[in-house]
Amino acid sequence: MALPIIKRTSLTKIMALGFLTTGLLACSGSDNTESQNQRPTQVPLINQAKPFSGALVKVSQGAASRFIKNGIYSATANYGRMAPVMSENSVDAGFSQTTTQEAGVDEADRIEYDGETLYLAAYPDWSDTTASPAHVRIMQRNADFSLTEAAKIGLQSENANINGLYLHNSHLAVLSENTVFMTFDSLLIDPWADANQKVSLDLYSSTDPQQPQALANIEFDGYLVSSRRIDNYVYLVTSYVAHVPSLNVNAVTEQEQLANYLRILDTPDDELMPKMYRNGVAQALYAAEDCAIPAAATAQDGYAQLVSVIRVNMELPDDISASCVSTMADLLYMSKDNLYVVSTLDNQTVLHKIRLDATLSYQASGSVNGVIGWNGPRQLRLSEQDNYLRIVASDYTGSMPVHQLSVLAQQGNSLNVVATLPNRDAPEVLGKPGEDIYAVRFFGNRAYIVTFERIDPLYVIDVENPLSPTILGTLEIPGYSSYLHPMDNNFLLGVGQQVNRSDIPENGTVAFEPPTREGIKISLFDIADPSHPREVNSIVMAQTYTPVEYDYRALTVLNNNGHYQFAMPVEQWGLVKDEFDYWLPQSSLLLLDVDTSSASAQLRLTNQLKIRSDADHYVFGGEDRSVIHGEHVFYAHGNQLWQSLWQENSSLIGPF
């Protein structure tokens, strides 16, 4: 069913739970008449706020209002807290673009490039010698591929951090959030505590890089779950907890608790809804009745957390739409047609489907047993193809983890499981006893899964028939891959860690200690024969890691008719021998080549571009990025940029 939106400025929220229409409607009466004419004289029995896994529905304004207010009271009375969500390759152009999960669905990153201009999100530097808030550096490429800073774009708040950039047709979008300084025990959101958290979207026209033109500053109440871009539209998913001021959080007596409930009940609905701020002017995102809420809730249920799905036109900032549903949000997966909000509830992964139509309409909900694991990029465990959603989840409640691939299809407002692996016809389990999943990648009609405890089994799975997935073949090698990158001509790149072979016991021998991780391992796999996948060759570097292992945006890829160039930042710690003997990090950028059209394809290390180490000022290498433009490469380390040629023994020029 479609959710109505507020034209031009409607934003739909995905609220964190639902309720049963009949029970809530019967209790709510007509809109707010109960709170006005039938004032409760004793504290009602409100259930503890909890999420639901079933379908969502639209109800009357009074029922929706009561559900939200019940949730606020429940969180207050039970001292319950709701945690915020902690924030997911062009060939023809001749230069690389951000590595993404789905073709045509862009993901925000700290670097963007259009062939002539490079944009770098610089994070704040508050060192002893520097006081620099977050900003965007606009760098112009010169004829010799050196860089010149053309302009800087600052943020409205000096305490803000940039979440990422989007670039489309000389239009730049800058996503940021305020930095809230809190003690550890206040990192959770209370309905009675005003965190005043906002997500900012600044839009610019950068036709003239030296004078970027500000088009709009738009803010949204809440925390950013994640974002995506399709063409000129930016999609945001935000999480918000309704706030009621002056509640007595120490209420003990029934009189004090009733006073809290009445204060919540008397709060106008529009004060509980998140707002949008256009150039500082506040306006409603939506009304309470515009939110879809859980169908299984009763009149005693409620939930205060709201999650919004928002779409903004980068080129026409007045073109904003949104939808609202009641659910938790831990993770976002988005195809070109649908958006899925994912959360964990009682050892289940709960999914809510939003159609990317004109109204961002809620479609259906479903769940699978188990949870999305924590190794590698989590969103890669979901994939949609031909209206089927594939998901890999793990059950950790037993003595050994149990992994399952599930296929879901929409039937009415339900996402129903129509197939699983293992199944009766394909009973082979995923992973040996004790092994966890470290990497998943869906690509067309194939799925690739890596499990690991001591040996890395790579599973090749056929999902061409969504109703009958089967394992085609496996490969066992030491180490593991935590990211898999599909390539042309039946090749696969794996990025992970090598392990000490002496830690791997003989068959039948029980090992009691985990294997020692020795350093990054980059493998080229040949999957032309899916029943017998093989490792062609690998590159191992001791005492080294790469952020690609957990963030695939750090991997830069340029594919020219099967000839691949990969750029990958790494960080290595080593002992410097002098009179003091100290450990020092070494950041560098690996340049790798492989020609998948060759009959003797091999992964080759072309060069390692090293940044000079500075013992006095450590710069974290996890945010390093790069851009490949033909035979040139740009390397971003910290807030500085370097340039080099793509060839052996070339050196870095910079910083710029």
567 and 526 within one domain: no
Residue 465 located in a structural domain: yes
Residue 620 located in a structural domain: yes
- The pLDDT tens digits for 121-152 are 998 887 666 778 999 999 999 999 999 999 99
466 and 376 within one domain: yes
Q: Which tops the pLDDT comparison, 529 or 12?
A: 529
Please report how the helices 61-77 and 21-28 are oriented relative to each other, as an axis angle in degrees rounded to 10.
90
494 and 447 within one domain: yes
| d(C-alpha 514, C-alpha 183), whole Å | 34
Residue 80 located in a structural domain: no
Q: ∠318-319-323 over CA atoms, to 5°?
A: 120
562 and 524 within one domain: no
Cis-peptide into 585, omega within 30 deg: no
551 and 525 within one domain: no
457 and 580 within one domain: no
| d(C-alpha 413, C-alpha 644), whole Å | 54
Residue 487 sits in which domain range?
370-508+520-535
Residue 76 reports pLDDT greater than 60: yes
Average pLDDT (438-450) is 95
- The pLDDT tens digits for 586-636 are 899 999 999 999 999 999 999 999 987 665 577 888 999 999 999 999 999
Residue 294 located in a structural domain: no
Residue 359 located in a structural domain: no
| d(C-alpha 104, C-alpha 286), whole Å | 29
pLDDT of residue 124: 87
- Mean pLDDT for the chain overall: 84
Residue 41 reports pLDDT greater than 90: no
Nearest partner of 408 among 448, 445, 446, 368, judged by Cα? 368
Confidence of residue 73 (pLDDT cuts 50, 70, 90): confident
- The pLDDT tens digits for 545-555 are 999 999 999 99
User: Tokens standing for 639?
Assistant: 């807030």
412 and 381 within one domain: yes
Please report how the helices 254-266 and 61-77 are oriented relative to each other, as an axis angle in degrees rounded to 10.
140
Residue 656 located in a structural domain: yes
Residue 529 reports pLDDT greater than 50: yes
Residue 463 located in a structural domain: yes
CATH number where 415 lies? 2.130.10.10
Average pLDDT (469-477) is 94
632-636 long-range contacts, Cβ below 8 Å, gap at least 24?
Answer: 632/145, 633/567, 633/589, 633/591, 633/609, 634/113, 634/118, 634/147, 635/567, 635/569, 635/589, 635/609, 635/611, 636/110, 636/111, 636/120
User: Tokens standing for 522?
Assistant: 């980059």
Strand 281-284 versus strand 582-595 pairing type: unpaired
609 and 583 within one domain: yes
Residue 114 located in a structural domain: no
The answer to whether residues 226 and 332 touch, using CB atoms and an 8 Å cutoff, is yes
Average pLDDT (569-597) is 80
575 and 490 within one domain: no
531 and 398 within one domain: yes
| d(C-alpha 632, C-alpha 118), whole Å | 14
Distances (CA, A) of 121 to 125, 569, 582, 597: 12, 17, 32, 36
| d(C-alpha 145, C-alpha 111), whole Å | 17
| d(C-alpha 340, C-alpha 325), whole Å | 12
The answer to whether residues 355 and 361 touch, using CB atoms and an 8 Å cutoff, is yes
pTM summary value? 0.88
639 and 547 within one domain: yes
Residue 92 reports pLDDT greater than 90: no
Q: Domain count of the chain?
A: 2
610 and 467 within one domain: no
| d(C-alpha 390, C-alpha 405), whole Å | 7
